[in-house]
């Protein structure tokens, strides 16, 4: 994965000699690169490569962060290399630490819930700490260490762990589950979310630990709510503004809605990934009658253009390529400029309604005193998540 990270971002194909130079920097020899590393990356769908007629690598395409988050991709690569149980549990420990700061007891409990016994869990935690990707800090009040990821939780670890320890076990596990699902599956439909009690999910939504965006069609297809993680922003350096982030969520939510809820007779999207790829490659898709009723809000935000034809059908034409490209990455993970509204858009065509995360959060009702502990815990979590989305990092992660 170090090798993939080093070649990440190069738009032009790298020569064989350049690839081997990057491999040397990552501590990988030429023979290992060609016989082990590249085949493992390809099998794990983290990278792909092409060979010339002589069997020499002439091009490598990496998918870092596209076909899964970094930990998921690392796990898939590791699976190709006959990993030991200690290596597997180490990755799980790193992942748990990224979701929230937890006391050592609670951290080990999460590993137990993933199927590891006491001894293996403790070994995995110690190895995760040795990598520097996970750290611990002692708490006198809690009488044990707090385990956390320094790349996500730069401060307040003890306070957050204290809040989480004060929650009933079921609600604490539910909060961690919500964080995990929203991060791993951008645009997950709310009915598919393994929800805890309504109060806990409402608290998470209220303070923005997870974000829920609702799309409503004007064509009688009803409404659907999709869930996103605010930490997605910290994983993508193309998201330079909150508006760009919301536009990408708007686009993804509409593509998923077109797949799940659009009228079948009007051209329901069979595969959102295939359709978006076609939109990027050809510049337009269609015609279909659903395009004439369900996508004018995307047009109003300047993301696409709806070009109507006869018989109530329309084409969807690409406008903001960077938003659509980013949306494709999220859609793949789920199965930049802000811009302004185009003044020529005919809003009398009644676009569907999109409730963005901030509007959803503001519209949530009072959850009552019974959820006070949950709200407090989530509020502390959100403060740290906001730092992560601003790309803040600890001064010395080691």
Does residue 363 belong to any structural domain of this protein? Answer: no
Q: Three-state SS across 321-358? A: HHHHHHHHHHHHHHCCCCCCCCCCCCHHHCCCEEECHH
Does residue 398 belong to any structural domain of this protein? Answer: no
CA distance 233 to 335: 20
Residue pair 192/237 in contact by the 8 Å Cβ criterion: no
Does residue 392 belong to any structural domain of this protein? Answer: no
Residues 229 and 324 in one domain: yes
Residues 213 and 328 in one domain: yes
Tally of domains within the chain: 3
CA distance 339 to 154: 33
Does residue 377 belong to any structural domain of this protein? Answer: no
Residues 351 and 273 in one domain: yes
Sequence-ordered list of residues with C-beta below 8 angstroms from that of 13, at least 6 positions apart, any chain: 58, 59, 60
Residues 36 and 6 in one domain: yes
Domain end, chosen from 137, 165, 193, is at 165
Residues 275 and 196 in one domain: yes
Q: pLDDT tens per residue, the chain (398 residues)?
A: 777 777 776 656 667 777 788 888 888 887 888 888 888 888 888 888 877 777 777 777 777 766 766 777 777 888 888 889 998 899 899 888 887 788 999 999 999 989 999 999 999 999 999 988 899 999 888 899 999 888 767 666 777 777 778 778 877 777 777 777 777 777 777 777 665 556 666 666 665 556 777 776 665 556 777 777 655 544 444 444 556 767 787 788 888 887 877 667 777 787 888 888 888 888 888 788 777 777 777 777 788 888 888 777 888 888 888 888 878 877 776 652 223 333 333 333 334 444 554 555 555 554 444 345 555 555 555 555 555 555 454 444 44
Residues 158 and 116 in one domain: yes
pLDDT at 259: 80
pLDDT at 53: 76
Does residue 172 belong to any structural domain of this protein? Answer: no
Domain end, chosen from 165, 199, 221, is at 165
Q: Is the pTM of this model over 0.85?
A: no
DSSP symbol at 61: E
Residue pair 255/234 in contact by the 8 Å Cβ criterion: no
Residues 149 and 67 in one domain: no
Does residue 370 belong to any structural domain of this protein? Answer: no
- The burial class, CB within 10 Å (0-12 / 13-18 / 19+), for 41 is buried
Read off the CATH number of the domain in which 159 is found: 1.10.10
Residues 190 and 223 in one domain: yes
Encoded tokens for 126: 């110690």
Residues 216 and 287 in one domain: yes
Coil, strand or helix at 88 = helix
- State the residue range of the domain holding 142: 85-165
Residues 217 and 289 in one domain: yes
Does residue 173 belong to any structural domain of this protein? Answer: no
Residues 115 and 140 in one domain: yes
Residue pair 199/367 in contact by the 8 Å Cβ criterion: yes
Residues 221 and 335 in one domain: yes
Does residue 384 belong to any structural domain of this protein? Answer: no
């Amino acid at each position: 994965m170090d090798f993939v990270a080093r070649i990440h971002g190069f738009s032009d194909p790298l020569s064989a000699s350049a690839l081997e130079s990057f491999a040397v920097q990552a501590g990988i020899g030429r023979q290992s690169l060609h016989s082990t590393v590249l085949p493992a990356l390809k099998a794990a769908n983290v990278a792909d490569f092409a060979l010339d007629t002589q069997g020499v690598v002439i091009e490598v395409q990496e998918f870092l962060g596209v076909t899964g988050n970094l930990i998921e991709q690392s796990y898939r690569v590791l699976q190709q290399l006959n990993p030991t149980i200690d290596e597997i549990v180490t990755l799980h420990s790193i992942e748990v630490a990224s979701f929230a700061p937890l006391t050592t007891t609670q951290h080990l409990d999460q590993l137990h819930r993933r199927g590891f016994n006491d001894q293996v869990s403790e070994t995995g935690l110690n190895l995760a700490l040795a990598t520097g990707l996970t750290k611990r800090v002692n708490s006198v009040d809690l009488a044990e260490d707090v385990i956390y990821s320094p790349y996500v939780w730069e401060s307040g670890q003890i306070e957050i762990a204290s809040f989480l320890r004060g929650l009933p076990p079921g609600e604490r596990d539910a909060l961690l589950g919500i964080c995990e699902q929203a991060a791993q599956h951008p645009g997950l439909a709310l009915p598919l979310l393994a929800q805890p009690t309504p109060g806990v999910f409402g608290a998470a939504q209220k303070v923005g630990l997870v974000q829920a965006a609702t799309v409503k069609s004007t064509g009688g297809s009803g409404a659907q709510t999709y869930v996103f993680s605010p930490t997605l922003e910290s994983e993508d350096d193309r998201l330079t503004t909150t508006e760009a982030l919301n536009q990408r969520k708007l686009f993804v939510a509409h593509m998923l809605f077109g797949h799940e809820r659009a009228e079948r007779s009007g051209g329901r999207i069979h595969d959102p990934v295939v359709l978006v790829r076609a939109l990027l490659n050809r510049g337009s898709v269609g015609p279909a009658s659903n395009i004439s009723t369900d996508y004018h809000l995307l047009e109003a935000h300047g993301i696409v253009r709806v070009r109507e034809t006869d018989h109530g059908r329309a084409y969807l034409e690409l406008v903001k390529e960077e938003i659509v490209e980013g949306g494709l990455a999220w859609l793949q993970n789920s199965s930049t400029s802000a811009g302004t509204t185009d003044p020529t858009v005919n809003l009398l065509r009644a676009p569907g309604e999109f409730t963005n995360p901030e509007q959803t959060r503001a519209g949530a009702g009072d959850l009552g005193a019974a959820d006070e502990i949950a709200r407090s815990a989530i509020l502390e979590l959100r403060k740290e998540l906001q730092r992560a989305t601003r790309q803040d990092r600890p001064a010395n992660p080691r």
